[in-house]
Chain A
Amino acid sequence: MFSNNSDTLVNAIAVQSRIVYALIMREIITRYGRHNIGFAWLFAEPMLFTVGVTALWSIVHTGDTSHTINIIAFAVTSYSTVLIWRNTIGRCTLAVEPNLSLLFHRNVRVLDLFIARIILEIVGITLSVITLMTVFVGTGMIPPPADILTMVGGWLLLAWYSAAMGLLVGGLCEYSEIIERFWHPIAYFQLPVSGAFAMASWLPPKIREIVLWFPAANCAEIFRAGYFGSSIKSYYSVGYVAVVCTLLTWAGLAAVKFISSKVEH
């Protein structure tokens, strides 16, 4: 039964998992419907994006001999990192408004709305990347990854950063619409420092230093380091990213808590 005595942690986790699951299922149906491939769009959509960008880069960089790595592999490993932070944080903007009426159910909290969207987005993109890599490796278009564990580590770190930023930006957007308007240009101008378009080792040391202030760039470096292994030189600091993510998580949760008490319906 639905429990009202959510006084034990286990109980509370059980209730919250149930709510988040219900919200995810609901979100999938609202977003993708039951027509044609339905919820397969969840990972088909980011996959199309990655494939498109990969194709584009392959054409542009044909004959470019300055770097000796596989351009397809570079595109897949790099662009997918952009997708994950950009889509996850983007989904968290204006996440509350369309779901306001759900808050009539006592156990549904504002935080759950964010968690559901974050999980859905991360899972979708992760699935798409796994599928793409498997296909590319299977068909011999790219070599197999050097160190899968390091890749997973970088990916998880990036997911953490995206989730924390999602809570923070999502919470702030609810507080003021101006934040929402600002977020899109900010996300856009962040692209050059996201580590997706160039490896840190290609950059002049001064610029590299600036780029590595951004957690997303560090994560992209780790992810690529795992894929390419010792054939490239990577620059990153796991400790730095972890500290920044911890602070962002704290700020994000605080923002969500703050707006939760203000939400009226």
Chain B
Amino acid sequence: MSPPANSPKPYECIVIGAGHNGLICAAYLAAAGRKVLVLEAGEEVGGAALTREFSPGYRVSAAAHLLHLMPSSIVQDLSLHRHGLVLAGSQLPTTALSDAGPLTLSGGSEIALAGATAADAKAYPEYVARLRRLAAALRPLLEQAPPRLDSQAWADRWALMKIGLRIRRLGRRDMRELLRIGAMNVYDLLQEHFESPLLKGALAFDAVLGTNFGPRSPGTVLTLLYRLAAEGGAGTGGVSQVRGGMGALSKALAQAAQIAGAEIRTNAEVQRLVVDADRVAGVELRSGEIIAGATVASSADPHTTFLRLLGAEHLDAGFVRRITHLRSRGLAAKLHLALSDLPAFDRVPPAALGGRLLIAPSMEYLERAYNFSKYGEVSEEPALEISVPTVRDSSLAPAGRHVLSAIVQYAPHTLKQGWGESRQRFTEAAIAAIAAHAPRLRSLIAATELLTPADLEQQFRIHGGHWHHAELAFDQFFMVRPVPGAAQYRGPIDGLYLCGAGSHPGGGVMGNAGRNAARQILREAA
């Protein structure tokens, strides 16, 4: 394939998708001197990290609404604060709601509980400190390409040895604890440490947020450690809120990429990858335009990348089988309420509304909410992570008005009955769960939007509508993420790389997948 005549120099790398991972990948590649083109199907950059108007005058982060996973090194490397990233708040407290009164968990460096029993208040700092030590040992894993197990290369062997060494360096007690709890479920772990159902519910929610798990599901300590490891890399900011919503972060990333030299085209949906002599040689847009590129890095999910854009005919059948078996159905829905006034929550000080509110009053509550999803039904009493971003950022709503944004679980991508009637029922259940703590809420609601995983799939082109593109679980983790044969960001066909959430270390607004992929491309592709 030859480049079009009007193009002076063909692109060295084409990045598919201008989500945060795609933009970060492009920014690092461009900063290293590569000629990079980013193609985004949507009207604006951001992918699912987007701020959208959902009702006239009311804007909200369409998917993830809090920033707590992105490494501080990415923020610094790309000078995001210079490119417009402003935090409306950081070190946000978490308030766990219950009928018996709330419990406040302070994050960041000040580990403290307000409203807990004496025993829990004593156990909590110890528990957090230990988990943070364990997570710190795992943190470097997030920032590297996973080593290959069957490899003869020294780099791979050395990487594996370093993992073992780091775990060994934890010392006997912590190492033993890591190996003991590593594959456990979070329910059992929290039962060992705490007595208050509310505290356990709040801590367990962090382990299952955005996953296909209940607290009793195996491997939920791993998802918790993963979250803590990423939060450790994010520095001291703790849970933060981006001014202007998550879309503002994407705009800063886009600006960083462009200033580094990357070109970004929106409304440019890639229809398929162009294959020439058994290597990916470019892309074809929906318009029919063909753009040549020496390498293509896709931040689309693995299913979309391999089966829709590349096509099974270019892949081995066993690899296709692994991709089709990838568990990638989302269970987290997003609820947006336009409110005429700030709702008052029972016994919650107004200042706490600027933080994170949780409705997960016990682990049993979470587990019951999860049960429905096993049978293709929505939770009757869902669990929620709530943010009222307008408390800290008035730009998102008309003066005096407010926006409530909530992640609501569990809402399976595919329902036995279909989403038709269930949408209304689930929305009602979510509002009822909030209204139980904020009695005036219903009278304040001016508009409602519910984004189910099926909506996320359709609007953000994520197969299955999963925030992580593929479930974060032992069998889809690290060296086998997304599947064996594509775990080093490299597809089984030359010239194709993965740089999205489906690759290690997964999704959330973190960006490590995009940066690791860029480094891999710089190492391998001339």
Are these two chains actual partners, yes or no? Answer: no
